[in-house]
Amino acid sequence: MRQLDSYIGKGVVWAFFAVAFVLLGLDYALTFIDQVKRVNQFYGISNLLEVLLLRLPGKFAEYIPIA
């Protein structure tokens, strides 16, 4: 029974992180496409990537209930 619980637990955790990864990927792709229009006006690509990486923990926490 413990082995079955272990398999189920691993499956649930794997599915959770897979869904969270897909949601974060879509969000970041759309945000990047939207913000790349403003890169030359206000800041560079490196600054855009830095801002996106700094937003990652907050976005992950935002998507926990959904995933």
> Structurally, how many domains does the chain consist of?
1
For residue 45, pLDDT over 80 is answered with yes
Structural domain of residue 56, as residue ranges? 2-63
Residue type, 49: L
Closest by Cα among 36, 14, 17, 15 to 25? 17
Instruction: Report the distance separating Cα 22 and Cα 26, nearest Å.
Output: 6
Asked whether the predicted pLDDT for residue 66 surpasses 90, the reply is no
Rounded Cα distance between 13 and 42, Å, is 40
Position 56 scores a pLDDT of 92
What percentage of the chain carries pLDDT values higher than 90? Answer: 55
